[in-house]
Amino acid sequence: MNGKLYLVPTPIGNLDDMTFRAVKVLKEVDIILAEDTRNSSPMLKHFGIDKKLFSHHQHNEHKAVNEIIRFLKEGQSIALISDAGTPAISDPGYLLTREAIKNNLEVECLPGATAFVPALVNSGLPNDRFIFEGFLPVKKGRQTRLKELALEERTMIFYESPHRLLKSLEEFITFFGADREVSVSRELTKMYEETKRGSLAEVKNYFETHTIKGEFVICLAGKISGKAVKEKFRDQED
């Protein structure tokens, strides 16, 4: 009988966000695959989880996938966790999930923490329709992608590192305009959680003189369509 692959979200900062179901699954599986065992070990110890732990990250996932598939076919149950949040969302997980499905193996993803959802809901920007971009290309293809997104009407969500935040906001001003609405969240669920909202120019000015630390989620308003412009002006006239 084949084993089962579980994709298990872990807290993005606050350990109280771990679900009872996630703890139960991690205690029951045979093997846990972690993006960085040094980061995951303290979290697992906190919840009393003592299982075989192996590294599974972007640098070894192509080499490791065949062996993991073999373990699953031998009947072992395996859980994949990332350093924080839901596996495969800007983290390793897609390749293994795809191969497991190709081999007719059962895959189950548990619901749980992911950084962009609270950032989007908390942004005050339209969230009925949105596009998740994750991390933009660092070099090749970055300018092309920004030009394409300049026409996007849905709210756009980006992940960004602290050392690239100001550069990205400056690029957004160039491609989207200084007045475009934006919400920037950092250190979500942690002690120094912060969200700054306003125009791109205002938010960039703010972070030029304030702490730039932690992981950032940027929620950027989409381009207002012709129809939306007419409705906005009609509402103002009313």
Domains present along the chain, CATH in parentheses: 4-109 (3.40.1010.10), 115-225 (3.30.950.10)
CA distance 63 to 97: 15
Contact predicate 220/198, CB 8 Å: no
What pLDDT is stored for residue 57 in this prediction?
87
Provide the residue-wise pLDDT of the chain in tens; the chain has 238 residues.
899 999 999 999 999 999 999 999 999 999 999 999 999 999 999 999 999 899 998 888 888 999 999 999 999 999 999 999 999 999 999 999 999 999 999 999 999 999 999 999 999 999 999 999 999 999 889 999 999 999 999 999 999 999 999 999 999 999 999 999 999 999 999 999 999 999 999 999 999 999 899 999 999 999 986 555 455 545 555 5
| pLDDT tens sequence across 2-36 | 999 999 999 999 999 999 999 999 999 999 999 99
What pLDDT is stored for residue 229 in this prediction?
45
Rounded alpha-carbon distances, angstroms, from residue 229 to 29, 195, 220, 235: 53, 27, 18, 10
What pLDDT is stored for residue 227 in this prediction?
55
CA distance 33 to 217: 26
CA distance 112 to 230: 39
What pLDDT is stored for residue 233 in this prediction?
44
**Following DSSP, what letter does each residue of 122-144 receive, concatenated?**
HH-S--SSEEEEESPPSSTTHHH
Instruction: Give the helix/strand (H/E) hosting 27.
Output: helix 20-28
| pLDDT tens sequence across 162-176 | 999 999 999 999 999
Average of per-residue pLDDT values in the chain: 93
The percentage of residues in the chain with a pLDDT greater than 70, rounded to a whole number, is 94
CA distance 219 to 125: 8
Closest residue by Cα to residue 8 from 104, 115, 82, 117: 82
